[in-house]
Chains A and B, each alone.
Chain A
Amino acid sequence: MNRYVLKLKKIGDIKYISHLDTMRTLHRAIRRAELPITYSKGFNPHPSISFAAPLSVGVESLAEYVDIEFDKIIDTNEIKNKINDNMPSGLEIIEAIHIKEKMPTSMAAVKVAKYEIKLKYDDIKNIEAKIKDIINSKEIIRTKKSKSGEKLVNIREMIYDLKLKEVADEYFIVECTIKTSNSGSLSPEILADLLKEVGAFGQPVVRRIEMYAEKDSEFIPLDKYYKRV
């Protein structure tokens, strides 16, 4: 097994494609690049591509992580360059990392993700107060949709950090670090909804900034977390 983790950017109009579309698009780019991606055995072979965490339609990202296997060892720069030559614009590999066989997948490793959320506002004081309020509270109960229906959850537990990053005439941007893992995730749209309760408005424009694993009670960006072979 020759395991690699790719760190990708997804910016511009390509953000409008879905998670499955992104997988297909990456798969086809790898095929065009004629890199020997490993397929599962059996009747219906699948390429070994899995993303750390799906990204909603319309959300940009500076840090998508993908686990991938090749049939042989390939130079990481070659992987990066060959795939990038075959990608649609906006989708770009920042780094290819050759990782040890025993390391957890990025899907298993990721614990939180950092996002920026851009919204319009009436009065910024209300937004500032609300952010303080959220940080100081112990419990914020909201309905959360899941596969099995709607349920009430304490979303405060899923918010690790929240701060105002930028205030412009037309909009403001908050930066947040929220739970993103295979044991549950908070959608940045739910945070946007909290801010909309105090006068923020408009379609939230969201961008994923980084994804982190946890090591010794500290959050480390996934690309720093993985040891290179």
Chain B
Amino acid sequence: MVILNEEILNSVQKPARYVGNEVNCVKKDKNSVKIRFAFCFPDVYEVGMSHLGLKIIYHMLNEREDCYCERAFAPWSDMENIMREKNIPLYALETKDPLSEFDFVGFTLQYEMSYTNVINMLDLAGIPLLSEQRNNHPFVVFGGPCAYNPEPLADIADFFILGEAEEVLNEVLDLYLVWKESKASRKEFLEKVSEIEGVYVPSLYYIEYNDDGTIKQMVPKKSNYKTKITKRIVRDLDKSYYPEKMIVPVTEVVHDRIMLETFRGCTRGCRFCQAGMIYRPIRERSTSKLVDLADRLVKSTGYDEISLTSLSICDYSDIENLVKTLIEKYRESNVGISLPSLRIDSFSVNLINEIQKVRKTGLTFAPEAGTQKMRDVINKGVTEEDLIKSVRSAFELGWNNIKLYFMIGLPFETNEDIEGIAELAYKVVDEYFNVPKEKRQKGLNVTVSTSSFVPKPFTPFQWFGQNTMEQLYEKQRLLKEKIKSKFITYNWHETPISFLEAVFARGDRRLTKVLIRAWELGCKFDGWQEHFKFNKWMQAFEECNIDPHFYATRHRDLDEVLPWDFIDVGVSKSYLINEYKKAEKAILTHDCRLGCTGCGITKLLKGGKCFNE
């Protein structure tokens, strides 16, 4: 057990990050369980504790009497320095035991720029970085959306879990119990676990490359190893596990409220969006189930805010009724309801007006692209008219602070599309002044924010080469030049970070050594501006003799073997190719709620329908 004295805790920022003991955290006798699982989030406590997946898995695993799931987060650099100086290993918050004493160390991969933190945490825990170097150590397992391209971490992981973990994780633990009894080798466990659907063990495969550096094929080391890894889904959300208690941090975290997951998946089919593809099919929780869960969670947490979470929340079939029921129910007890993301239509604006009877703070819309052609290319089925109508109702309802979110560097984009972003922002400003003075709030502020497009695996744009940083800088400059209004503020995301995201999002196993080298050179918390060291990253690529442009900016042929081709997410490759081709011609594909578009996901449902009508 690690003991952190007050001298240490009093000398670091936000010491509450490191002590645990929050309301609803689970206390067990570690000697009474057979499996110790450390759920690790490769970022600071406040970020990790805002993650719904952590709460689901943590409480679910702790329902098992034979398992104790604890949590670990990345220590901020001030704490890390002390830990390294005093030889304090990374520990789990509940028992304060070092991670090296656990059976499993599981990381969730939410964003590529957290990979160096994964390495740093393993190192702080004294766990060898590479799978092949481990023997009596914990099994290191990865999951989360970035695991859909597992290859950049292939040599680090013992295994990956692809898809929703609720069922498969329990199967893995059951198997582990049998293996532990049998005293068989580590390799035997990995072979056995690889037979579970949704589990990928990278060490059972090797990769052959072509002369040009692209992948020739992925070869199983034994003929009985499976060649296709199919993601796991939970069929019925009403029947699947959802915690009735959630840890309530005693120090403020980023999302400090009840998260009520209304549904999984999205039917819109935006072509840039990885979440929209990998989380298919759509599955909803019923309103009655949600209302019941809300009730239990309000009682067990004491939170005064419920956030309805999902992709594209207004698509929930019964959204109006759900929102009204919750508002009605909690009016007296002062529990507020919030919606995370908004679609552009007047319905959404009116709905949020219902909810936010209080403060008219900022309202964010994501047209994603500046011209109709571009919005058709990316299949964002939204028109300029939709946007203008929505902002008009927002202005009339008292909002004066509008944020518009766009991407630049999208496929088939021209300079006119960039200029279109500025034009659209100006039209929003004009619409504000079209609203009669007495009906609108004083002090207009329109914020235009652009991020650089990062092509992601399992999207129709997975073959597209990212714009070079020079191209992106040029587009930002062009847009800056076009925006002259005092009512419009323009800000943009860091281009070098997007470039590295593109490298690792579509990278292969050869990148593991770059990650480790970059970490050795001091890279960590790469998603945090104050820590990001682009020159160190470029040095790491150079020393490893790897060209990052090969991964980020190179256009890939449709018949190239992609590093993640061996994974089956349900959506077929032919569907993605067809969508890419339609994008080039700016042809829309309709929302699948209006009729099946044939993405292929229904095969995971074994003949079932993908939308629960």
What residues of chain A have their CB less than 8 Å away from a CB belonging to chain B?
A: 13-14, 16-18, 20-21, 24-25, 27-32, 34, 39, 43-45, 57-58, 86-90, 202-203, 205
Contact = CB atoms under 8 A, between A and B. Distances in A.
Contacts of A203: 6-7, 10-11
A16 B16 contact: yes
B222 to A, nearest CB: 50
B251 A17 contact: yes
Interface string B6-34: 11011100011011111100000000000
B10 A32 contact: no
Contact of A28 (B10, B11, B248): B248
A28 B19 CA distance: 19
A14 B334 contact: no
Q: Which has the most chain A C-beta neighbours within 10 Å: B15, B16, B300? A: B16
Contact of B250 (A25, A30, A44, A205): A25
B252 interface: yes
Nearest to A205: B6
A13 B359 contact: no
A57 B12 CA distance: 11
B302 A86 contact: yes
Given A17-B250, A27-B302, 15 more contacts: A14-B21, A16-B9, A18-B16, A20-B252, A21-B16, A21-B250, A30-B302, A32-B23, A32-B301, A34-B299, A43-B357, A57-B16, A86-B23, A88-B23, A89-B21
B584 interface: no
B9 A58 contact: yes
A13 B19 contact: yes
B358 interface: yes
12 contacts: A13-B19, A13-B20, A17-B16, A17-B251, A31-B298, A31-B302, A32-B301, A39-B334, A44-B359, A45-B334, A203-B7, A203-B11
B303 interface: yes
Residue among B7, B302, B334, B357 facing the most chain A CB atoms (10 A cut-off): B302
B302 to A, nearest CB: 3
A34 B10 CA distance: 34
The B contact surface, by secondary structure, is loop
Interface in B243-286: 248, 250-252, 256
A20 B7 CA distance: 23
Nearest to A206: B10
B18 to A, nearest CB: 8
B13 to A, nearest CB: 9
A134 B85 CA distance: 38
Contacts of A32: 23, 299-302
A28 B358 contact: no
Nearest to B27: A89
A130 B10 CA distance: 25
B334 to A, nearest CB: 6
A31 B18 CA distance: 26
A195 to B, nearest CB: 16
A89 B94 CA distance: 13
A28 B16 contact: no
Interface residues of B, number: 30
With most chain A CB atoms within 10 A of its CB, the pick from B16, B248, B250, B251 is B250
B132 interface: no
Nearest to B335: A31
Interface of B: 6-7, 9-11, 15-16, 18-23, 248, 250-252, 256, 298-304, 333-334, 357-359
A32 B304 CA distance: 10
Contact of A43 (B22, B302, B359): B359
A118 to B, nearest CB: 9
Contacts of B252: 20-21, 24
A18 B17 CA distance: 12
Contacts of A43: 357-359
A14 B358 contact: no
Given A39-B334, A57-B15, A31 B304 contact: yes
Given A44-B358, A88-B250, A58 B302 contact: no
Contact of B23 (A20, A28, A39, A205): A28
A58 B6 contact: yes
A33 B250 CA distance: 17
Contacts of B298: 31
A47 B250 CA distance: 18
Nearest to A89: B21
Nearest to A87: B23
A58 B9 CA distance: 8
A29 B11 contact: no
Contact of B10 (A21, A58, A89, A90): A58
A18 B251 contact: yes
A144 to B, nearest CB: 21
Contacts of A25: 23, 250
B302 A16 contact: no
A30 B303 CA distance: 10
B302 A28 contact: yes
Contacts of A205: 6, 10
List of 8 A-B pairs having minimum Cβ-Cβ separation, nearest first: A28-B302, A31-B302, A16-B15, A13-B19, A32-B302, A16-B16, A58-B10, A203-B10
Nearest to A13: B19
B335 to A, nearest CB: 9
Nearest to A28: B302
B10 A14 contact: no
A189 to B, nearest CB: 11
A39 B330 CA distance: 14
The interface centre, meaning the residue of A16, A34, A58, A205 with most chain B CB atoms within 10 A of its CB, is A16
Contacts of A16: 9, 15-16, 18-19, 251
Nearest to B298: A31
Nearest to B299: A32
Contact of B302 (A13, A20, A29, A45): A29
Contacts of A58: 6, 9-10, 15
Nearest to A33: B302
Contacts of B10: 58, 203, 205
A161 to B, nearest CB: 25
Contacts of B334: 39, 45
Given A28-B248, A57-B15, A202 B302 contact: no
Contacts of B9: 16, 58
A58 B16 CA distance: 9
B251 A13 contact: no
Given A16-B15, A21-B251, A88 B6 contact: no
